[in-house]
Amino acid sequence: MAIIIDGKELSKKIREKLKIECENLEKNNIKPQLAVIMVGDDPASKVYVRNKSKACKEVGVDYVEYLLDKSIKQKELIDLIEKLNNDKNINGILLQSPIPKHLNIEEAFEKIDYRKDVDGFHPMNVGKLALGQDSFVSCTPFGVIKMFEEYDIDLCGKNVVILGRSNIVGRPLIQCCINKNATVTVCHSKTRNTKNITREADVLISAIGKPNFVTEDMVKDGAVVIDVGINRLDDGKIVGDVDYEKVKEKASYITPVPGGVGPMTIAMLINNVIKATKQQNNIK
């Protein structure tokens, strides 16, 4: 039976440490501030934004929200980003996705000053991560890596298999795992014989968004299984990508959903806001 990686508890521990960092910054009259831009009224985004706001306030990060109408033009969005780039009181900028289809999200991400890009989506940060340089790392992959570190799971020389290659999870995870000296294989919707590949994984990370996709016959005995997926079933229940009840009998470590990777994402966002604040104030 696997050890359950408790993301909720770990996130709480990290946020407590970050609170102390905020208190120390306040002694120098510095208060980190995050600006969140949301366009339209996507219900899931509203929940995410509410959770981010609550966590920021608890840790001591100021939080300012810009709610834009779904009919807004690209120029208005870019003008707001540029205003926030130039505002010395704002340390981090986050554009909540998705945004309406008529807007160009790639251009918007690129307009965010990469030094305030706490989501790690700017090409400069993506490129730095790929080069193994210090950068802002996308919060969910960063949260996964933090779990490995906190549970002393060493990736060096391990076969890591990642299911999914999205820009926000799968791709940055590839770089994060390579930077930890893992041997990385990525599966996506065009991969053949996925099961043969996952069976070889010492560490299996699923980020595809399909309930019960990872079944016990896809998992090697003693593998570490990280479930990034968040799927809402018809009865309202939230599950991951992994058949948790069966796979936990075979794995050495496993993350539950909810209470696994999800809470880590918010902790790493706050971590990135504080990192940005320190960099902008030349504090080590």
For the chain, counts of helices (H) and of strands (E): 10, 11
Binders in 76-95 for ligand NAP, by CB under 6 A? none
Residue 22 binding ligand NAP, by CB under 6 A: no
- The neighbouring-strand residues paired with 66 are 37
Residue 168 binding ligand NAP, by CB under 6 A: yes
**Which of 75, 94, 78 lies closest to 32 in space, CA to CA?**
94
Catalytic residues: 52, 96, 119
Angle at 34 between CA 107 and CA 167, to 5 degrees: 40
Strand, coil or helix: 159: strand
Instruction: Single out the residue of 75, 190, 192, 284 in contact with ligand NAP (rule: CB under 6 A).
Output: 190
Closest approach of Cβ 18 to ligand NAP, in Å?
17
Residue 164 binding ligand NAP, by CB under 6 A: yes
147 φ/ψ angles, rounded to the nearest 5 degrees: -60, -45
Strand, coil or helix: 193: coil
Query: How many residues sit close enough to ligand NAP to count as binding (CB under 6 A)?
Result: 24
How many Å apart are CA 216 and CA 251, to the nearest integer?
A: 9
Residue 166 binding ligand NAP, by CB under 6 A: yes
Closest approach of Cβ 5 to ligand NAP, in Å?
13
Instruction: Single out the residue of 51, 85, 194, 252 in contact with ligand NAP (rule: CB under 6 A).
Output: 194
Residue 81 parent element (H or E): helix 74-86
Binders in 97-156 for ligand NAP, by CB under 6 A? 140
Surface-to-core class of residue 238, CB atoms within 10 Å of its CB (0-12 exposed, 13-18 middle, 19+ buried): middle
Binders in 224-283 for ligand NAP, by CB under 6 A? 228-231, 261-262, 265
Q: Which is nearer to ligand NAP, 97 or 280 (CB)?
A: 97
- Interface contacts to ligand NAP, rule CB under 6 A: 140, 163-166, 168-170, 187-191, 194, 207-209, 228-231, 261-262, 265
